Amino acid sequence: MADINTKYTYVLEAVRADGKKVMRFTNKPENRAQVLINNGYKPVDETSKVEFIKLEMPMTKEEYKSSLKLKAQHVA
């Protein structure tokens, strides 16, 4: 069972059927994206797909979110 210390190797960003933008994490992406699509998940924009992206190194959810903030600070 996953907890806050679980390290994940794949991440997906999508929009749920209710319009909320979400991130989903997994270590077993096989068929998982298709299940999300079948349940109404859509790409976040016109240039993306509902697919899992392999992370460079395993990270917890919080580590991943922190890495996004660091990337945004370096761009600004």
How confident is residue 27, by pLDDT bands cut at 50, 70 and 90?
very high
Structure confidence at residue 76 (pLDDT): 61
**Beta strand 8-15 pairing with 21-26:** antiparallel
Residue 30 has pLDDT above 70, yes or no: yes
**Beta strand 53-59 pairing with 8-15:** antiparallel
Structure confidence at residue 56 (pLDDT): 94
Nearest CA among 39, 23, 29 for reference residue 9: 29
Nearest CA among 11, 4, 9 for reference residue 25: 11
Residue 37 has pLDDT above 70, yes or no: yes
The verdict on pTM exceeding 0.75 is yes
Share above pLDDT 70 across residues of the chain, in percent, rounded to a whole number: 97
